[in-house]
Amino acid sequence: MAISSGIKTIQLREKLLSKKDIYKEALAIRALTLRRNVTFIVNDYIDIALAVDADGVHLGQDDMPVKEARKIIGRGKIIGVSTHSLRQALDAEASGADYIGFGPIFKTRTKDAGEPKGIISLKKLGEQVNIPIAAIGGITYNNAREVLNNGADAIAVASGILSGDIKENIKRFLAMTHS
């Protein structure tokens, strides 16, 4: 539904299923994303990203270092890194990450992501980091424009899309981000 509504990047983030089931889910998503020319990123699992020929992998602070991941996944794939501070963001950039996820920007119920960083931290980060920043955490239609105007190159949204009419929510976000 997200892809047919115009989403151009999908990240598979699954913490509860077995790796075998995550692999099966990733295969199905990869088939859809290939047909629709949508970027597909697998969270945490380099092996699954490689096995399904995903476009890249997203790593957390406790996952494999970017330099090692790059040796495995290669130069032609995307590597993103979750960051929660300027130091982590600069380290990710220096180690060769293609983009960073930064947040949580606002309070979120999707996962326990720590204290919100806020717009000011995002703005300061955007002034010092030279790779794309995907802001995450508590982003809604009502605050997304402010996030994008203060350093974020992209927004990662879960509940802001999944609460209510998914297709309509996506259309609203896309209309705002393309204006």
Catalytic residues, by residue number, are 13, 82, 111
In order, the DSSP letters of 80-146 are EEEESSHHHHHHHHHTT-SEEEE--SS--SSS---S--HHHHHHHHHHH--S-EEEESS--HHHHHH
* Integer Cα distance of 173 and 145 in angstroms: 9
User: Do 48 and 31 touch, CB atoms closer than 8 A?
Assistant: no
